[in-house]
Structure 1
Amino acid sequence: MAGKPGGGGSSLIVLRSFTAPDNDTPIATDFWQQYYTFKVNGCNAVLGYIPQSIIGRIQWTDTWTIDQDSRTVVLNTPLTATRETRSQALIQTLKATQKAGVISMLNKWRNETFPIYDSNGTVLLEIERCASALFGIVTYGVQLLCYTNSNQKGLHLWIGKRSSKKQTYPGMLDCTAAGGLPTATLPIDAVMCEAQEEASIPYAFIRTNIKSMGPISYFHVRGDKAGGEIGLLQPEVEYTYELELEGGMVPTPSDSEVESFSLYSVEETVGFLKGGLFKPNSAVVIVNFLIEHGIVNGENEEDYEEILAHLHRPLEFPVVIQSST
């Protein structure tokens, strides 16, 4: 970041994988030729992007239409199809692909689904969580950052370290608690559950003191640390929260996903950001927190407007934003 905190360099190092080329550039032409649009019969909206490298590996049934000229994949269920029948058609395809053993990400099957919305904000179908990035659909999640702020020591952040056995981003730094937002779950319920499960923070304290920082939206290109296939597009909406811990309260790992928690100063945290030590979608939440607290602003960060654009990117898909509280 320019100026304080940290001095020198650019904060955009943590945002480099959070973009896709503008549609009117030569780079964009080469970039987007690697992807097919994903649609469902009866819905005109583009619902996601599937890499060309994945198209040939998925075990498509006759329910699907793949148009090589328009680079479009359509789930061709009848116009009378229901959310359940569309979801089942997709599951059958994914299960057949999993059985073929040609896509490693499908080995992480969770029996947890994410919603895919239509242009009216209605759930059109649901997709198994581990397959969401294969189809490039919008996913939703929650992130909580705990902190302390004393007159003696100033602002410090509770940073988690992911287990080295995690399938995704093993050993990297993380927010205090985070998780995906499954179908039919409210953000506030999800974040409180994650805070209890991952950081052992009492429910009553969370409910009384948690504060929403609002949603952020971004477009992430998955790299090799994400686990599984690389180059997958992952547009996401994250509901972000902060929680000040007082009276000696500390987060404590309560499951195998978190190795430890440590309390770091803002300067130390920014150094970790610049060093690429954070899980990518946690890094952007940290940046958002620093903006919310006025630590990063237009006066001390020369790339401030570009950072805001990355954190609040309009997504070109049907998106439903729920209340954060």
Structure 2
Amino acid sequence: MTLPCITDARRFDVGAHLPFHIGDERVGWIRENDVALLARWPDVFEIDGDADNARVTLAPHFDNVTARSAALGSVIGALAAEGRIPGWRNETYAIRNAFDATPLAYIERAASRFFGTMTYAVHLNGVVEYAERAPQLWIARRSDTKATDPGMLDNVVAGGIGWGFGIEATLVKECWEEAGIAADLAREARAGRTVHVLQSLPEGTQAEQIFVYDLALPADFVPHNQDGEVGEHRLARIDETARWIEEGAMTVDASLATLDCLLRRQWIDEDACEGIAAIFEPPTL
């Protein structure tokens, strides 16, 4: 069985994008149709349309992180004002191809998909295990006002990692904001695997590494959203959750994070997840 989330996690057409470079390092992907928008700033971007070396490069005279951030910020602000970059978040993301790498520039979170830069997120599987019956998972439904995937099913906790936050600090913060999970309990979460997503979306490219965690939650615990980003929570059987994944009712990110949990705990058979191994390895382009 081929699950839609696995296919979607690699639904990316390299030929429809130009690589975005800072210096010699490719840091993102820009849709061909969006390249013309950037041509309005010839002092900021160098655009090479040659078939063998087509790319968009940040002009080399922006030679430090402050200058690069300022130059990109002015462009991003203009594009957002024109509606080209939706869902402004007032959150800072770093442009970096590895989580522990030194940032090359800082940008508004909403612009990361326009430029196709690497982003990082944490997803938490809230697991409830019982002595005499099958385990269950807490599943969230995203608020209808969310900028991305409104109303879809999600992990009980999920959030992007902004600049200045570590993985565990983000996990603790998001646990409280999205589910009312206290810090002491959140710190008991155990790391799963890292999921790698590269997919085309209406707002651009999602190039993201998702750090997956599991947390054993007490049987009497009920999540309570604190920040308005979750519409509801529901406690679901494993077969229900698997059906939602198969039907595409869950976000791609949450589906993959949940499958990681189900596979590691041997609650589903890997043979039922054709192609799943690929999402635990970075895409090769």
| TM-score under structure 1 length normalisation | 0.81
Post-superposition CA distance 1:221-260 (Å, at most 9, x none): 22xxxxxx35x22121011111111151121122211011
CA contact (8 A) 1:61 1:93 kept: no
- Mapped to 1, the partners of 2:86 and 2:9 lie a distance apart of 26
Distance 1:160 1:276 in 2: 15
Q: 1:204: which partner in 2?
A: 184
SS at match of 1:108: coil
Which residue of 29, 35, 55 maps to 1:72? Answer: 55
The worse-fitting range, judged by mean Cα deviation, of 110-119 and 10-19 is 110-119
**Aligned mates of 1:110, 1:158 — CA distance in 2:** 27
Match of 2:206 among 220, 234, 243: 234
Q: Residues 66 and 302 of structure 1: is their aligned pair in 2 closer, same or farther, counting only changes over 3 Å?
A: closer
C-alpha distance in structure 2 between counterparts of 1:154 and 1:61, whole Å: 61
Quick one: which of 171, 181, 197 aligns to 1:218? Answer: 197
Matched, 1:62 2:47: no
Where do residues 163-312 of structure 1 align in structure 2 (5 Å cutoff)? Answer: 163-207=143-187, 209-222=188-201, 229-230=202-203, 232-298=204-270, 300-301=271-272, 303=274, 306-309=275-278, 311-312=279-280
1:126 aligns with 2:127: no
Q: Does the 8 A contact of 1:38 with 1:135 survive in 2? A: yes
Query: Residue 315 of structure 1: CA displacement?
Result: 4.1
How many angstroms apart in 1 are the aligned matches of 2:206 and 2:234?
29
Aligned ranges 1:9-24 → 2 under 5 Å: 10-20=1-11
- Give the drift of 1:49: 0.8
Aligned-residue offset at 1:213: 0.9
Q: What's the secondary structure of 1:157's corresponding residue?
A: strand
- Amino acid across the alignment from 1:129: R
Per-residue deviation, 1:193: 0.4
Contact 2:126 2:156 in 1 (8 A): yes
Q: Could you tell me how far apart the structure 1 residues matched to 2:157 and 2:189 are?
A: 13
Question: Could you tell me how far apart the structure 2 residues matched to 1:184 and 1:201 are?
Answer: 22
Give aligned-pair identity as a percent.
26
- Is contact 1:218–1:313 with CA below 8 Å preserved after alignment? no
Q: CA deviation at 1:216?
A: 1.9
- RMSD (Å), alpha carbons: 2.0
Q: Does 1:110 align with 2:116?
A: no
TM-score, L = length of structure 2: 0.91
The CA distance in 1 between the partners of 2:42 and 2:158, in whole Å, is: 35
Distance in 2 (CA, whole Å) between partners of 1:315 and 1:272 is 26
- Secondary structure, aligned partner of 1:282: helix
Residues 1:314 and 2:270 aligned together: no
Give the aligned residue type for 1:301. Answer: A
State the 1:121 CA deviation: 2.6
Q: Deviations over 1:64-122 (max 9, x none)?
A: 1111113211101327x2211111111011112223x151xx24222212111268932
Distance 1:14 1:37 in 2: 25
Residues 279-320 of structure 1 show CA distances to partners (whole Å, capped at 9, x for unaligned) of 11111101111111112344x4372xx2111x2132459xxx
Number of aligned residue pairs: give it: 281
SS in 2 for 1:50: strand
The SS at the match of 1:246 is coil
* Separation of aligned partners in 1, 2:97 and 2:242: 39
Counterpart amino acid of residue 16 in structure 1: T
Give the secondary structure class of the aligned counterpart of 1:150. coil
Residues 72, 282 of structure 1: alpha-carbon distance in 2 compared, 3 angstrom cutoff: same
Give the residue type in structure 2 aligned to 1:234.
Q
Task: Assess, with a 3 A threshold, how the Cα gap between structure 1 residues 259 and 188 changes in structure 2: closer, same or farther.
Answer: same
Shift of 1:11: 4.5
Structure 2 runs not aligned, ≥5 long? none
Q: 2:129–2:219: 8 Å Cα contact kept in structure 1?
A: no
Given residue 64 of structure 1, which amino acid in structure 2 is its aligned partner?
F
